[in-house]
Structure 1
Protein backbone atom coordinates (compact mmCIF):
# COMPACT_ATOMS: atom_id res chain seq x y z
CA UNK A 1 0.00 0.00 0.00
CA UNK A 2 1.38 3.44 -0.86
CA UNK A 3 2.15 6.21 1.64
CA UNK A 4 -0.78 8.17 0.20
CA UNK A 5 -3.22 5.42 1.13
CA UNK A 6 -1.61 4.80 4.53
CA UNK A 7 -2.42 8.35 5.62
CA UNK A 8 -6.11 7.59 5.25
CA UNK A 9 -5.94 3.99 6.48
CA UNK A 10 -4.49 5.26 9.75
CA UNK A 11 -7.56 7.42 10.23
CA UNK A 12 -10.18 4.71 9.66
CA UNK A 13 -12.67 4.24 12.49
CA UNK A 14 -12.37 1.15 14.69
CA UNK A 15 -16.03 0.43 14.00
CA UNK A 16 -15.47 0.39 10.24
CA UNK A 17 -12.48 -1.92 10.53
CA UNK A 18 -14.23 -4.36 12.87
CA UNK A 19 -17.13 -4.57 10.43
CA UNK A 20 -14.86 -6.25 7.87
CA UNK A 21 -15.05 -10.05 7.53
CA UNK A 22 -11.96 -11.90 8.76
CA UNK A 23 -10.71 -12.32 5.20
CA UNK A 24 -11.71 -8.83 4.07
CA UNK A 25 -9.50 -5.98 2.91
CA UNK A 26 -9.89 -2.20 2.99
CA UNK A 27 -9.14 -0.26 -0.23
CA UNK A 28 -8.52 3.43 0.44
CA UNK A 29 -8.42 6.50 -1.77
CA UNK A 30 -7.28 9.96 -0.77
CA UNK A 31 -4.78 12.69 -1.62
CA UNK A 32 -1.55 12.79 0.35
CA UNK A 33 -0.39 16.04 1.96
CA UNK A 34 1.82 16.69 -1.07
CA UNK A 35 -0.97 15.98 -3.56
CA UNK A 36 -3.90 17.63 -1.81
CA UNK A 37 -5.17 20.74 -3.57
CA UNK A 38 -8.40 22.68 -3.90
CA UNK A 39 -9.32 25.11 -6.67
CA UNK A 40 -12.17 27.41 -7.61
CA UNK A 41 -13.23 26.19 -11.06
CA UNK A 42 -16.15 28.63 -11.28
CA UNK A 43 -16.49 31.95 -9.52
CA UNK A 44 -19.33 34.09 -10.89
CA UNK A 45 -22.58 35.62 -9.57
CA UNK A 46 -24.44 32.63 -11.08
CA UNK A 47 -22.35 29.70 -9.77
CA UNK A 48 -19.53 28.85 -7.37
CA UNK A 49 -17.62 25.56 -7.71
CA UNK A 50 -14.82 24.38 -5.41
CA UNK A 51 -13.02 21.28 -6.72
CA UNK A 52 -10.68 18.65 -5.21
CA UNK A 53 -8.91 15.75 -6.95
CA UNK A 54 -8.67 12.30 -5.38
CA UNK A 55 -5.95 10.23 -7.06
CA UNK A 56 -7.17 7.05 -8.81
CA UNK A 57 -10.77 7.84 -7.79
CA UNK A 58 -11.80 11.01 -9.62
CA UNK A 59 -12.78 14.56 -8.70
CA UNK A 60 -15.22 15.93 -6.15
CA UNK A 61 -16.67 19.40 -5.79
CA UNK A 62 -18.85 21.66 -3.72
CA UNK A 63 -21.19 23.89 -5.71
CA UNK A 64 -23.71 26.60 -5.01
CA UNK A 65 -25.80 28.34 -7.65
CA UNK A 66 -27.79 31.55 -7.99
CA UNK A 67 -31.12 31.08 -6.25
CA UNK A 68 -33.48 32.82 -3.88
CA UNK A 69 -32.56 30.11 -1.33
CA UNK A 70 -29.08 29.33 0.01
CA UNK A 71 -28.00 25.98 -1.44
CA UNK A 72 -25.02 23.62 -1.47
CA UNK A 73 -24.30 20.40 -3.36
CA UNK A 74 -21.35 18.01 -3.06
CA UNK A 75 -20.81 15.90 -6.19
CA UNK A 76 -18.46 12.99 -6.89
CA UNK A 77 -17.22 12.60 -10.46
CA UNK A 78 -16.00 9.00 -10.20
CA UNK A 79 -13.63 7.38 -12.67
CA UNK A 80 -15.63 4.19 -12.13
CA UNK A 81 -19.38 4.59 -11.62
CA UNK A 82 -21.16 2.38 -9.03
CA UNK A 83 -21.91 -1.09 -10.38
CA UNK A 84 -25.01 -1.44 -8.21
CA UNK A 85 -27.05 0.20 -5.48
CA UNK A 86 -24.70 0.73 -2.54
CA UNK A 87 -25.28 1.84 1.05
CA UNK A 88 -22.66 4.35 2.20
CA UNK A 89 -21.65 5.81 5.53
CA UNK A 90 -20.14 9.29 5.54
CA UNK A 91 -17.95 9.99 8.58
CA UNK A 92 -15.76 12.88 9.66
CA UNK A 93 -12.31 11.34 10.21
CA UNK A 94 -9.25 12.91 11.88
CA UNK A 95 -6.08 13.23 9.79
CA UNK A 96 -3.21 10.88 10.62
CA UNK A 97 -1.43 13.50 12.77
CA UNK A 98 -4.56 13.74 14.97
CA UNK A 99 -5.25 10.01 15.07
CA UNK A 100 -6.43 10.09 18.68
CA UNK A 101 -9.22 12.55 17.90
CA UNK A 102 -12.70 10.97 17.67
CA UNK A 103 -14.48 10.47 14.38
CA UNK A 104 -18.12 11.48 13.92
CA UNK A 105 -21.02 10.20 11.85
CA UNK A 106 -22.24 12.71 9.25
CA UNK A 107 -24.82 10.81 7.19
CA UNK A 108 -26.06 7.52 5.80
CA UNK A 109 -26.22 7.76 2.02
CA UNK A 110 -26.74 5.64 -1.08
CA UNK A 111 -24.98 5.34 -4.43
CA UNK A 112 -27.14 4.34 -7.37
CA UNK A 113 -26.03 2.13 -10.24
CA UNK A 114 -24.14 4.08 -12.92
CA UNK A 115 -24.70 7.42 -11.15
CA UNK A 116 -22.10 9.59 -9.43
CA UNK A 117 -22.55 10.04 -5.70
CA UNK A 118 -23.73 13.31 -4.20
CA UNK A 119 -24.46 14.92 -0.85
CA UNK A 120 -27.06 17.67 -0.66
CA UNK A 121 -28.07 20.63 1.47
CA UNK A 122 -27.59 20.29 5.25
CA UNK A 123 -25.32 17.24 4.98
CA UNK A 124 -23.12 19.04 2.42
CA UNK A 125 -22.84 22.01 4.81
CA UNK A 126 -21.79 19.58 7.57
CA UNK A 127 -19.05 18.25 5.28
CA UNK A 128 -17.85 21.79 4.57
CA UNK A 129 -17.81 22.59 8.28
CA UNK A 130 -15.80 19.44 9.10
CA UNK A 131 -13.23 20.33 6.44
CA UNK A 132 -12.98 23.81 7.94
CA UNK A 133 -12.12 22.15 11.29
CA UNK A 134 -9.32 20.19 9.63
CA UNK A 135 -11.21 16.88 9.51
CA UNK A 136 -11.45 14.55 6.50
CA UNK A 137 -15.00 13.60 5.45
CA UNK A 138 -14.72 9.95 4.38
CA UNK A 139 -17.13 7.65 2.54
CA UNK A 140 -17.22 3.97 3.59
CA UNK A 141 -18.93 1.27 1.55
CA UNK A 142 -18.68 -2.36 0.46
CA UNK A 143 -16.77 -3.20 -2.69
CA UNK A 144 -19.16 -3.64 -5.62
CA UNK A 145 -17.57 -6.89 -6.77
CA UNK A 146 -16.37 -8.47 -3.50
CA UNK A 147 -18.65 -8.05 -0.49
CA UNK A 148 -15.82 -9.13 1.84
CA UNK A 149 -13.85 -6.00 0.93
CA UNK A 150 -14.61 -2.39 1.84
CA UNK A 151 -13.71 0.96 0.32
CA UNK A 152 -12.83 4.27 1.99
CA UNK A 153 -12.78 7.51 0.00
CA UNK A 154 -11.35 10.44 1.93
CA UNK A 155 -11.69 14.15 1.18
CA UNK A 156 -8.56 15.90 2.43
CA UNK A 157 -8.60 19.14 4.43
CA UNK A 158 -5.00 19.95 3.48
CA UNK A 159 -4.82 23.29 1.60
CA UNK A 160 -8.59 23.68 1.97
CA UNK A 161 -8.73 26.89 4.03
CA UNK A 162 -7.68 29.54 1.44
CA UNK A 163 -10.00 28.24 -1.25
CA UNK A 164 -12.80 27.76 1.27
CA UNK A 165 -12.65 31.50 1.97
CA UNK A 166 -12.81 32.25 -1.76
CA UNK A 167 -15.77 29.88 -2.12
CA UNK A 168 -17.73 31.49 0.71
CA UNK A 169 -17.05 34.97 -0.70
CA UNK A 170 -18.39 33.77 -4.05
CA UNK A 171 -21.51 32.30 -2.38
CA UNK A 172 -22.19 35.63 -0.66
CA UNK A 173 -22.31 37.36 -4.08
CA UNK A 174 -24.62 34.93 -5.90
CA UNK A 175 -27.64 36.47 -7.59
CA UNK A 176 -30.81 36.02 -5.47
CA UNK A 177 -32.70 34.26 -8.28
CA UNK A 178 -32.18 31.24 -10.51
CA UNK A 179 -32.37 30.59 -14.25
CA UNK A 180 -35.80 29.04 -13.70
CA UNK A 181 -36.98 32.40 -12.33
CA UNK A 182 -36.19 34.16 -15.63
CA UNK A 183 -36.49 31.38 -18.24
CA UNK A 184 -40.18 32.17 -18.80
CA UNK A 185 -40.77 35.91 -18.51
CA UNK A 186 -43.65 38.18 -19.49
CA UNK A 187 -42.89 41.86 -20.08
CA UNK A 188 -45.62 44.49 -20.33
CA UNK A 189 -45.63 47.92 -22.03
CA UNK A 190 -47.12 51.26 -21.13
CA UNK A 191 -50.04 52.34 -23.30
CA UNK A 192 -49.14 53.66 -26.80
CA UNK A 193 -45.39 53.44 -26.12
CA UNK A 194 -42.38 51.19 -26.59
CA UNK A 195 -41.57 51.67 -22.90
CA UNK A 196 -41.81 48.76 -20.48
CA UNK A 197 -43.62 49.28 -17.19
CA UNK A 198 -41.55 49.43 -14.01
CA UNK A 199 -41.99 45.76 -13.06
CA UNK A 200 -40.95 44.67 -16.54
CA UNK A 201 -37.90 46.92 -16.52
CA UNK A 202 -36.80 45.27 -13.28
CA UNK A 203 -37.41 41.82 -14.76
CA UNK A 204 -35.44 42.71 -17.88
CA UNK A 205 -32.52 43.88 -15.71
CA UNK A 206 -32.56 40.51 -13.92
CA UNK A 207 -32.34 38.73 -17.28
CA UNK A 208 -29.47 40.90 -18.50
CA UNK A 209 -27.54 40.54 -15.23
CA UNK A 210 -27.88 36.74 -15.38
CA UNK A 211 -26.94 36.48 -19.05
CA UNK A 212 -23.68 38.36 -18.48
CA UNK A 213 -22.39 35.12 -16.95
CA UNK A 214 -24.60 32.43 -18.52
CA UNK A 215 -25.32 33.46 -22.14
CA UNK A 216 -25.24 29.95 -23.63
CA UNK A 217 -28.71 29.03 -24.88
CA UNK A 218 -30.06 26.32 -27.14
CA UNK A 219 -33.15 28.29 -28.15
CA UNK A 220 -34.87 31.54 -27.16
CA UNK A 221 -38.43 32.34 -28.26
CA UNK A 222 -39.62 35.96 -28.21
CA UNK A 223 -43.37 36.29 -28.79
CA UNK A 224 -44.87 39.77 -28.88
CA UNK A 225 -48.56 40.73 -28.58
CA UNK A 226 -50.64 43.93 -28.52
CA UNK A 227 -54.11 44.94 -27.38
CA UNK A 228 -56.82 45.54 -29.99
CA UNK A 229 -56.72 49.33 -30.06
CA UNK A 230 -55.49 50.80 -33.35
CA UNK A 231 -55.37 49.14 -36.76
CA UNK A 232 -54.68 45.42 -37.02
CA UNK A 233 -51.69 45.84 -39.35
CA UNK A 234 -50.27 48.66 -37.25
CA UNK A 235 -50.50 46.47 -34.16
CA UNK A 236 -48.75 43.63 -35.96
CA UNK A 237 -45.89 45.97 -36.90
CA UNK A 238 -45.70 47.29 -33.32
CA UNK A 239 -45.46 43.73 -31.99
CA UNK A 240 -42.69 42.88 -34.47
CA UNK A 241 -40.74 45.99 -33.48
CA UNK A 242 -41.02 45.17 -29.78
CA UNK A 243 -39.91 41.58 -30.42
CA UNK A 244 -36.90 42.74 -32.42
CA UNK A 245 -35.98 45.28 -29.73
CA UNK A 246 -35.89 42.46 -27.17
CA UNK A 247 -33.85 40.31 -29.57
CA UNK A 248 -31.23 43.06 -29.89
CA UNK A 249 -31.03 43.32 -26.11
CA UNK A 250 -30.54 39.57 -25.78
CA UNK A 251 -27.82 39.62 -28.44
CA UNK A 252 -26.07 42.45 -26.57
CA UNK A 253 -26.22 40.21 -23.48
CA UNK A 254 -24.27 37.50 -25.30
CA UNK A 255 -26.90 35.18 -26.84
CA UNK A 256 -26.15 34.21 -30.44
CA UNK A 257 -28.68 35.80 -32.80
CA UNK A 258 -29.33 32.52 -34.63
CA UNK A 259 -30.58 31.04 -31.35
CA UNK A 260 -33.33 33.67 -31.01
CA UNK A 261 -36.66 33.21 -32.83
CA UNK A 262 -38.98 36.25 -32.82
CA UNK A 263 -42.66 36.42 -33.74
CA UNK A 264 -44.93 39.46 -33.77
CA UNK A 265 -48.51 38.24 -33.20
CA UNK A 266 -50.22 41.63 -33.11
CA UNK A 267 -53.77 41.44 -31.71
CA UNK A 268 -53.89 37.62 -31.63
CA UNK A 269 -54.11 35.47 -28.49
CA UNK A 270 -55.41 37.88 -25.90
CA UNK A 271 -55.08 36.64 -22.34
CA UNK A 272 -57.60 39.09 -20.88
CA UNK A 273 -60.60 41.16 -21.87
CA UNK A 274 -59.76 44.04 -24.19
CA UNK A 275 -62.67 46.03 -22.72
CA UNK A 276 -60.88 47.03 -19.52
CA UNK A 277 -57.70 49.01 -18.83
CA UNK A 278 -56.30 46.15 -16.75
CA UNK A 279 -57.06 43.63 -19.49
CA UNK A 280 -55.43 45.74 -22.20
CA UNK A 281 -52.35 46.22 -20.01
CA UNK A 282 -52.01 42.44 -19.79
CA UNK A 283 -52.48 41.96 -23.53
CA UNK A 284 -49.63 44.36 -24.38
CA UNK A 285 -46.84 41.92 -23.68
CA UNK A 286 -43.67 40.20 -24.84
CA UNK A 287 -43.10 36.63 -23.66
CA UNK A 288 -39.48 35.39 -23.48
CA UNK A 289 -38.92 31.63 -23.24
CA UNK A 290 -35.31 30.46 -22.83
CA UNK A 291 -33.97 26.90 -23.06
CA UNK A 292 -30.37 26.14 -22.10
CA UNK A 293 -30.54 22.56 -23.41
CA UNK A 294 -28.65 21.09 -20.39
Structure 2
Protein backbone atom coordinates (compact mmCIF):
# COMPACT_ATOMS: atom_id res chain seq x y z
CA UNK A 1 0.00 0.00 0.00
CA UNK A 2 1.41 3.41 -0.99
CA UNK A 3 1.74 6.24 1.51
CA UNK A 4 -1.03 8.21 -0.20
CA UNK A 5 -3.37 5.22 -0.13
CA UNK A 6 -2.59 4.61 3.52
CA UNK A 7 -3.30 8.24 4.42
CA UNK A 8 -6.54 8.16 2.47
CA UNK A 9 -7.61 5.00 4.33
CA UNK A 10 -7.02 6.72 7.66
CA UNK A 11 -8.93 9.79 6.51
CA UNK A 12 -11.89 7.71 5.39
CA UNK A 13 -11.84 5.87 8.69
CA UNK A 14 -12.01 9.15 10.54
CA UNK A 15 -14.83 10.42 8.34
CA UNK A 16 -16.80 7.26 9.09
CA UNK A 17 -16.98 8.35 12.75
CA UNK A 18 -19.69 10.97 13.34
CA UNK A 19 -18.28 14.39 14.09
CA UNK A 20 -20.43 14.55 17.20
CA UNK A 21 -18.79 11.49 18.75
CA UNK A 22 -16.12 11.88 21.44
CA UNK A 23 -14.00 8.73 21.21
CA UNK A 24 -11.94 7.16 23.99
CA UNK A 25 -9.48 4.65 22.60
CA UNK A 26 -5.84 3.60 22.76
CA UNK A 27 -3.64 5.25 20.12
CA UNK A 28 -2.38 2.99 17.35
CA UNK A 29 0.82 1.25 18.42
CA UNK A 30 0.12 1.66 22.16
CA UNK A 31 -2.62 -0.93 22.63
CA UNK A 32 -2.00 -3.57 25.32
CA UNK A 33 -4.01 -6.40 26.83
CA UNK A 34 -2.91 -7.71 30.24
CA UNK A 35 -3.71 -11.19 31.54
CA UNK A 36 -3.77 -12.01 35.26
CA UNK A 37 -4.99 -15.23 36.72
CA UNK A 38 -4.88 -18.16 39.08
CA UNK A 39 -6.83 -21.36 39.60
CA UNK A 40 -9.53 -19.19 41.21
CA UNK A 41 -10.04 -16.51 38.54
CA UNK A 42 -8.86 -15.22 35.15
CA UNK A 43 -8.84 -11.60 34.02
CA UNK A 44 -7.90 -9.93 30.71
CA UNK A 45 -7.73 -6.14 30.88
CA UNK A 46 -7.42 -3.42 28.21
CA UNK A 47 -6.58 0.10 29.44
CA UNK A 48 -8.42 2.92 27.66
CA UNK A 49 -6.74 6.34 28.09
CA UNK A 50 -8.83 9.01 29.83
CA UNK A 51 -11.68 6.53 30.32
CA UNK A 52 -10.76 3.46 32.33
CA UNK A 53 -10.61 -0.12 31.09
CA UNK A 54 -12.42 -3.03 29.53
CA UNK A 55 -12.20 -6.34 31.42
CA UNK A 56 -12.98 -9.94 30.49
CA UNK A 57 -13.40 -11.96 33.67
CA UNK A 58 -14.21 -15.53 34.65
CA UNK A 59 -14.19 -16.88 38.17
CA UNK A 60 -14.01 -20.57 39.02
CA UNK A 61 -17.40 -22.17 38.51
CA UNK A 62 -18.93 -18.95 37.14
CA UNK A 63 -19.93 -17.79 33.64
CA UNK A 64 -17.56 -15.42 31.85
CA UNK A 65 -18.48 -11.73 31.71
CA UNK A 66 -17.19 -8.52 30.16
CA UNK A 67 -17.30 -5.16 31.96
CA UNK A 68 -16.47 -1.58 31.17
CA UNK A 69 -14.77 0.12 34.11
CA UNK A 70 -14.87 3.93 34.09
CA UNK A 71 -12.45 6.01 36.16
CA UNK A 72 -15.24 8.60 36.35
CA UNK A 73 -18.91 8.23 35.34
CA UNK A 74 -19.48 9.19 31.71
CA UNK A 75 -22.34 7.26 30.14
CA UNK A 76 -25.98 8.12 30.77
CA UNK A 77 -28.22 5.29 31.95
CA UNK A 78 -30.18 3.62 29.16
CA UNK A 79 -29.04 1.75 26.08
CA UNK A 80 -25.68 1.96 24.31
CA UNK A 81 -25.15 0.83 20.74
CA UNK A 82 -22.55 -1.88 20.29
CA UNK A 83 -20.80 -2.51 17.02
CA UNK A 84 -17.48 -3.64 15.61
CA UNK A 85 -15.44 -1.67 13.11
CA UNK A 86 -12.68 -2.64 10.72
CA UNK A 87 -9.45 -0.93 11.82
CA UNK A 88 -7.91 1.62 9.49
CA UNK A 89 -5.14 -0.79 8.46
CA UNK A 90 -7.75 -3.18 7.00
CA UNK A 91 -9.21 -1.32 3.98
CA UNK A 92 -12.40 -2.81 2.64
CA UNK A 93 -13.49 -4.13 6.02
CA UNK A 94 -17.04 -3.73 7.20
CA UNK A 95 -18.76 -2.48 10.32
CA UNK A 96 -21.07 -4.90 12.14
CA UNK A 97 -24.04 -3.88 14.25
CA UNK A 98 -24.06 -5.93 17.47
CA UNK A 99 -27.26 -4.45 18.88
CA UNK A 100 -27.81 -2.54 22.10
CA UNK A 101 -26.60 -3.14 25.65
CA UNK A 102 -27.86 -1.83 28.98
CA UNK A 103 -25.98 1.04 30.61
CA UNK A 104 -26.01 2.10 34.26
CA UNK A 105 -24.65 5.52 35.12
CA UNK A 106 -21.57 5.13 37.28
CA UNK A 107 -18.13 3.61 37.29
CA UNK A 108 -19.38 0.17 36.19
CA UNK A 109 -21.64 1.22 33.32
CA UNK A 110 -21.70 -1.96 31.21
CA UNK A 111 -21.63 -5.65 32.08
CA UNK A 112 -22.18 -8.25 29.37
CA UNK A 113 -23.22 -11.82 30.08
CA UNK A 114 -21.42 -14.86 28.73
CA UNK A 115 -22.90 -14.98 25.22
CA UNK A 116 -22.40 -11.27 24.50
CA UNK A 117 -18.93 -11.36 26.04
CA UNK A 118 -18.02 -14.28 23.76
CA UNK A 119 -19.25 -12.32 20.73
CA UNK A 120 -17.05 -9.37 21.68
CA UNK A 121 -14.11 -11.78 22.07
CA UNK A 122 -14.79 -13.21 18.62
CA UNK A 123 -14.89 -9.76 17.00
CA UNK A 124 -11.60 -8.75 18.61
CA UNK A 125 -9.98 -12.04 17.64
CA UNK A 126 -11.00 -11.45 14.03
CA UNK A 127 -9.18 -8.11 14.08
CA UNK A 128 -12.19 -5.83 14.53
CA UNK A 129 -12.39 -2.87 16.89
CA UNK A 130 -15.40 -3.03 19.25
CA UNK A 131 -17.15 0.23 20.11
CA UNK A 132 -19.74 1.25 22.71
CA UNK A 133 -21.63 4.49 21.93
CA UNK A 134 -23.86 6.36 24.37
CA UNK A 135 -24.65 9.96 25.32
CA UNK A 136 -22.86 11.20 28.46
CA UNK A 137 -24.80 11.63 31.68
CA UNK A 138 -24.07 15.36 31.97
CA UNK A 139 -26.34 16.26 29.06
CA UNK A 140 -23.89 17.08 26.28
CA UNK A 141 -25.28 16.78 22.75
CA UNK A 142 -22.27 14.83 21.50
CA UNK A 143 -22.21 11.09 22.22
CA UNK A 144 -19.23 9.29 23.73
CA UNK A 145 -17.58 6.30 22.08
CA UNK A 146 -15.47 3.82 24.03
CA UNK A 147 -13.39 1.55 21.81
CA UNK A 148 -11.61 -1.75 22.44
CA UNK A 149 -8.62 -2.21 20.16
CA UNK A 150 -7.78 -5.59 18.63
CA UNK A 151 -4.12 -4.64 18.36
CA UNK A 152 -1.98 -7.16 20.30
CA UNK A 153 -5.16 -8.97 21.36
CA UNK A 154 -4.47 -12.43 19.91
CA UNK A 155 -1.34 -12.99 21.99
CA UNK A 156 -3.08 -12.03 25.23
CA UNK A 157 -6.10 -14.12 24.30
CA UNK A 158 -3.94 -17.24 24.05
CA UNK A 159 -2.72 -16.60 27.60
CA UNK A 160 -6.30 -16.01 28.76
CA UNK A 161 -7.49 -19.31 27.26
CA UNK A 162 -4.61 -21.07 29.00
CA UNK A 163 -5.70 -19.54 32.29
CA UNK A 164 -9.30 -20.65 31.73
CA UNK A 165 -8.12 -24.22 31.24
CA UNK A 166 -6.57 -24.21 34.73
CA UNK A 167 -9.60 -22.85 36.61
CA UNK A 168 -11.11 -24.94 39.37
CA UNK A 169 -14.54 -26.39 38.50
CA UNK A 170 -16.19 -24.64 41.48
CA UNK A 171 -15.66 -21.75 43.88
CA UNK A 172 -16.00 -21.71 47.66
CA UNK A 173 -19.50 -20.23 47.73
CA UNK A 174 -20.74 -23.06 45.53
CA UNK A 175 -19.50 -25.81 47.85
CA UNK A 176 -19.63 -24.17 51.29
CA UNK A 177 -23.13 -25.59 51.80
CA UNK A 178 -23.63 -28.82 49.84
CA UNK A 179 -26.44 -31.37 50.00
CA UNK A 180 -25.88 -34.97 48.92
CA UNK A 181 -29.12 -36.80 48.08
CA UNK A 182 -29.90 -40.51 48.41
CA UNK A 183 -32.41 -43.02 46.99
CA UNK A 184 -35.23 -44.12 49.27
CA UNK A 185 -34.13 -46.55 51.98
CA UNK A 186 -30.56 -46.87 50.67
CA UNK A 187 -27.15 -45.42 51.41
CA UNK A 188 -25.70 -45.58 47.89
CA UNK A 189 -24.24 -42.55 46.12
CA UNK A 190 -25.36 -41.65 42.62
CA UNK A 191 -22.75 -40.40 40.07
CA UNK A 192 -24.08 -36.84 40.32
CA UNK A 193 -23.56 -36.83 44.09
CA UNK A 194 -20.09 -38.38 43.79
CA UNK A 195 -19.23 -35.55 41.41
CA UNK A 196 -20.20 -33.02 44.08
CA UNK A 197 -17.82 -34.69 46.53
CA UNK A 198 -15.07 -34.76 43.91
CA UNK A 199 -15.47 -31.01 43.34
CA UNK A 200 -15.28 -30.37 47.08
CA UNK A 201 -12.05 -32.35 47.33
CA UNK A 202 -10.51 -30.60 44.30
CA UNK A 203 -11.29 -27.18 45.73
CA UNK A 204 -10.13 -27.90 49.26
CA UNK A 205 -6.78 -29.24 48.06
CA UNK A 206 -6.23 -25.88 46.35
CA UNK A 207 -7.44 -23.73 49.25
CA UNK A 208 -5.78 -24.64 52.58
CA UNK A 209 -7.87 -22.03 54.41
CA UNK A 210 -10.74 -24.55 54.54
CA UNK A 211 -10.18 -26.30 57.84
CA UNK A 212 -13.49 -27.76 59.04
CA UNK A 213 -16.11 -30.10 57.55
CA UNK A 214 -19.42 -30.57 59.37
CA UNK A 215 -21.36 -33.55 57.97
CA UNK A 216 -24.98 -34.19 58.99
CA UNK A 217 -27.07 -37.19 57.94
CA UNK A 218 -30.86 -37.05 57.50
CA UNK A 219 -33.68 -39.27 56.28
CA UNK A 220 -37.27 -38.84 55.18
CA UNK A 221 -40.18 -39.82 57.43
CA UNK A 222 -40.69 -43.29 55.98
CA UNK A 223 -39.85 -46.14 58.38
CA UNK A 224 -39.25 -46.41 62.09
CA UNK A 225 -37.43 -43.74 64.05
CA UNK A 226 -34.66 -46.08 65.16
CA UNK A 227 -34.09 -47.41 61.66
CA UNK A 228 -33.99 -43.89 60.27
CA UNK A 229 -31.42 -42.81 62.84
CA UNK A 230 -29.18 -45.72 61.85
CA UNK A 231 -29.69 -45.04 58.13
CA UNK A 232 -28.79 -41.37 58.54
CA UNK A 233 -25.62 -42.47 60.36
CA UNK A 234 -24.68 -44.82 57.52
CA UNK A 235 -25.21 -42.10 54.95
CA UNK A 236 -23.20 -39.50 56.87
CA UNK A 237 -20.34 -41.95 57.46
CA UNK A 238 -20.33 -42.92 53.80
CA UNK A 239 -19.95 -39.29 52.72
CA UNK A 240 -17.22 -38.72 55.31
CA UNK A 241 -15.35 -41.82 54.11
CA UNK A 242 -15.46 -40.65 50.51
CA UNK A 243 -13.94 -37.32 51.53
CA UNK A 244 -11.30 -39.10 53.60
CA UNK A 245 -10.43 -41.28 50.60
CA UNK A 246 -9.86 -38.12 48.59
CA UNK A 247 -7.35 -36.73 51.05
CA UNK A 248 -9.42 -34.75 53.55
CA UNK A 249 -7.80 -35.18 57.00
CA UNK A 250 -9.96 -37.11 59.45
CA UNK A 251 -9.32 -34.60 62.24
CA UNK A 252 -11.04 -31.88 60.19
CA UNK A 253 -14.27 -33.87 59.79
CA UNK A 254 -17.15 -33.84 62.29
CA UNK A 255 -19.98 -36.31 61.62
CA UNK A 256 -23.50 -36.21 63.08
CA UNK A 257 -26.76 -38.01 62.28
CA UNK A 258 -30.33 -37.00 63.03
CA UNK A 259 -32.70 -39.48 61.37
CA UNK A 260 -35.99 -37.85 60.37
CA UNK A 261 -35.82 -35.10 62.99
CA UNK A 262 -34.96 -32.10 60.77
CA UNK A 263 -36.94 -32.24 57.50
CA UNK A 264 -36.52 -29.41 55.00
CA UNK A 265 -39.72 -30.29 53.10
CA UNK A 266 -42.96 -32.16 53.67
CA UNK A 267 -42.80 -35.94 53.92
CA UNK A 268 -46.27 -36.19 52.39
CA UNK A 269 -45.02 -35.92 48.79
CA UNK A 270 -42.46 -37.83 46.75
CA UNK A 271 -40.57 -34.62 45.93
CA UNK A 272 -40.50 -33.53 49.57
CA UNK A 273 -39.22 -36.91 50.77
CA UNK A 274 -36.46 -36.82 48.15
CA UNK A 275 -35.30 -33.47 49.54
CA UNK A 276 -35.21 -34.85 53.07
CA UNK A 277 -33.05 -37.89 52.19
CA UNK A 278 -29.80 -35.99 52.37
CA UNK A 279 -26.40 -35.50 53.92
CA UNK A 280 -25.38 -31.88 54.31
CA UNK A 281 -21.77 -30.73 54.21
CA UNK A 282 -20.80 -27.40 55.72
CA UNK A 283 -17.28 -26.08 55.10
CA UNK A 284 -15.70 -23.49 57.35
CA UNK A 285 -12.54 -21.47 56.89
CA UNK A 286 -10.19 -20.57 59.73
CA UNK A 287 -9.81 -22.32 63.07
CA UNK A 288 -12.35 -25.12 63.63
CA UNK A 289 -15.29 -24.10 65.81
CA UNK A 290 -17.55 -26.83 67.17
CA UNK A 291 -21.20 -25.71 66.87
CA UNK A 292 -23.62 -25.91 69.83
CA UNK A 293 -25.38 -28.96 68.35
CA UNK A 294 -22.18 -30.94 67.70
CA UNK A 295 -23.56 -34.16 69.14
CA UNK A 296 -25.30 -37.21 67.76
CA UNK A 297 -29.05 -37.18 68.22
Q: Of 150, 155, 158, which aligns to 1:157?
A: 150
**Matched residue, 1:54:** 48
SS, match of residue 127 in structure 2: coil
Q: Of 62, 84, 96, which aligns to 1:104?
A: 96
Superposed CA RMSD: 4.9
CA–CA distance in structure 1, aligned partners of residues 190 and 231 of structure 2 = 24
Contact 1:30 1:55 in 2 (8 A): yes
**Matched residue, 1:277:** none
Contact 1:39 1:52 in 2 (8 A): yes
**Matched residue, 2:5:** none
Say if 1:124 and 1:272 are closer, same or farther in 2 by CA, change over 3 A.
closer
**Matched residue, 2:179:** 185
1:121 equivalent in alignment to 2:122: no
**Matched residue, 1:144:** 137
SS, match of residue 195 in structure 2: helix
Say if 1:133 and 1:84 are closer, same or farther in 2 by CA, change over 3 A.
closer
SS, match of residue 98 in structure 1: coil
Say if 1:214 and 1:132 are closer, same or farther in 2 by CA, change over 3 A.
farther
Moved more, 52-61 or 31-40: 31-40
**Matched residue, 2:18:** 17
CA–CA distance in structure 2, aligned partners of residues 53 and 128 of structure 1 = 16
CA–CA distance in structure 2, aligned partners of residues 261 and 52 of structure 1 = 47
CA–CA distance in structure 2, aligned partners of residues 40 and 47 of structure 1 = 11
Measured after TM superposition, the shift of residue 32 of structure 1 is 2.6
**Matched residue, 2:73:** 81
Residue correspondence of structure 1 range 278-289 to structure 2 within 5 A: 285-288=278-281
Contact 1:12 1:93 in 2 (8 A): no
**Matched residue, 1:37:** 32
**Matched residue, 1:168:** 161
Contact 2:76 2:136 in 1 (8 A): no
Say if 1:107 and 1:281 are closer, same or farther in 2 by CA, change over 3 A.
closer
Residue by residue, what CA displacement relative to the aligned partner does 1:5-40 show, whole Å, maximum 9, x if unpaired? xxxx9786756516x3xxxxx332122345422122
SS, match of residue 162 in structure 1: helix
CA–CA distance in structure 1, aligned partners of residues 71 and 144 of structure 2 = 14
SS, match of residue 185 in structure 1: strand
CA–CA distance in structure 1, aligned partners of residues 275 and 114 of structure 2 = 39
SS, match of residue 139 in structure 2: coil
Contact 2:75 2:109 in 1 (8 A): no
Q: Specify every segment of 5 or more residues in structure 1 that has no aligned partner in the other structure, as ranges.
A: 1-8, 21-25, 274-279
CA–CA distance in structure 1, aligned partners of residues 256 and 109 of structure 2 = 42
Q: Specify every segment of 5 or more residues in structure 2 that has no aligned partner in the other structure, as ranges.
A: 1-9, 268-272, 286-297
| Alignment: residue pair count | 262
Contact 2:23 2:145 in 1 (8 A): yes
Contact 2:32 2:47 in 1 (8 A): yes
Residue by residue, what CA displacement relative to the aligned partner does 1:179-237 show, whole Å, maximum 9, x if unpaired? 78755322559x99xx97354433211222244457778x98643336887969x9599
Contact 1:13 1:103 in 2 (8 A): no
TM-score when normalising by structure 2? 0.63
Contact 1:136 1:157 in 2 (8 A): yes
